[in-house]
Amino acid sequence: MKRMTNMKQLRFMANIIRQDVVRMLYEAKSGHSAGSIGLADIFTALYFNVLYHNPEKPDWPDRDRLILSNGHVCPVLYSALANAGYFPKEELMTLRKLNSMLQGHPHRGTLPGIENSSGPLGQGLSQAVGMAIVAKAERKRWRVYAMLSDGEHNEGQTWEAAMLAAKYKLGNLTAIIDRNNIQIDGYTEEVLPLEPFADKYRAFGWNVIDVDGHNIKKIIDACSESKAVYERPTVIIAHTIPGKGVPFMENLFEWHGKPPTKEQADEATRDLEAIKKTIDEDEE
């Protein structure tokens, strides 16, 4: 797929994805708002610039793989896939409904472009490591990207996978952590503190990059940097604001697991439309 390099275009796309997610969650009447909306910039960077992929050939063997580990943010993935052309956009409004391709958590095989089934936390990095081991052993040029949440680092399996990735020197693996500081019961540092988060990954043998998870250019740059590190896997700790772009959701863990009402969805859409109008004037 042709890369989108114009920052204005990319920011427009992120805005469209946010608006999709708001509508999808309102229509679905259940789902996870804050994380999905907060990840719009990262998914825009990935699907419209970073990843080598072909929406017309989802099974192209040499594609880059994106493993989504925290499956509950799938509305942002579904919107990115639809906007990239994997399936018609009107399907988005069937999210979580009977007979839909868009399952409440992603299912490999049901929807084109989904690399892995997920939902139960902590399972994604292991699968990404498996793929990267194959790609490295067979000297493939494709890379593996793993999207993780901060909260799922409570699960020991994530750290088991982190150790194995370092053992096999998986320079073809880039993990991106949505560091939004919230999980279901509260703030991550209150539920089970993760800090010093970056130091933990460094101690596990990873290359660590901290980045503003809403600056699309910096996300793309961090992904490029990760490609230049051969002997270690890279983790990009992307600092995000949950619900970013929808002021009444921002930074509130209460918005982790609920959808907007009709009025809230309309308000969110108005907020996002207002932001969209400013994209022209802003300089990157």
**Residues of the shown chain interacting with other proteins in the complex, contacts defined by CB under 8 A:** 61, 67, 107-109, 115-120, 122-135, 137, 156-157, 160-161, 163-164
20 vs 115 by CB, closer to other proteins: 115
Least Å distance between CB 170 and other proteins?
11
Cβ 72 vs Cβ 66: under 8 Å: no
∠ CA(253), CA(20), CA(245), 5° rounding?
A: 45
Q: Which two tokens stand for residue 61?
A: 């063997």
In which element (H, E) is residue 196 found? none
Which residue lies nearer to other proteins by CB, 33 or 116?
116
Q: CA–CA separation, 42 vs 212, rounded Å?
A: 10
Distance in Å, CB of 231 to other proteins, minimum:
18
Q: How far is the CB of 157 from other proteins (least distance, A)?
A: 4
Looking at the Cβ atoms of 175 and 272, the one nearer to other proteins is: 175
Q: Distance between CA 44 and CA 125 in Å, rounded?
A: 21
Distance of closest approach, residue 220 Cβ to other proteins, in angstroms: 25
DSSP letters, 94-122, are GTTSTT-SS-SS--TTTSTT------STT
Which DSSP state fits 47? I
Smallest distance from other proteins to CB 172, Å: 12
* Residue 245: DSSP 8-state: T
Overall size of the chain counted in residues: 284
Distance CA 236, CA 119 (A): 22
Shortest distance in whole angstroms from residue 130 CB to other proteins: 2
210 burial level (CB within 10 Å; 0-12, 13-18, 19+): middle
Kindly tell me which of 9 and 157 has the beta carbon lying closer to other proteins: 157
What is the helix (H) or strand (E) element at residue 61, kind and residue range? none
Decide whether 161 or 235 has the Cβ nearer to other proteins.
161
Q: Which is nearer to other proteins, 137 or 228 (CB)?
A: 137
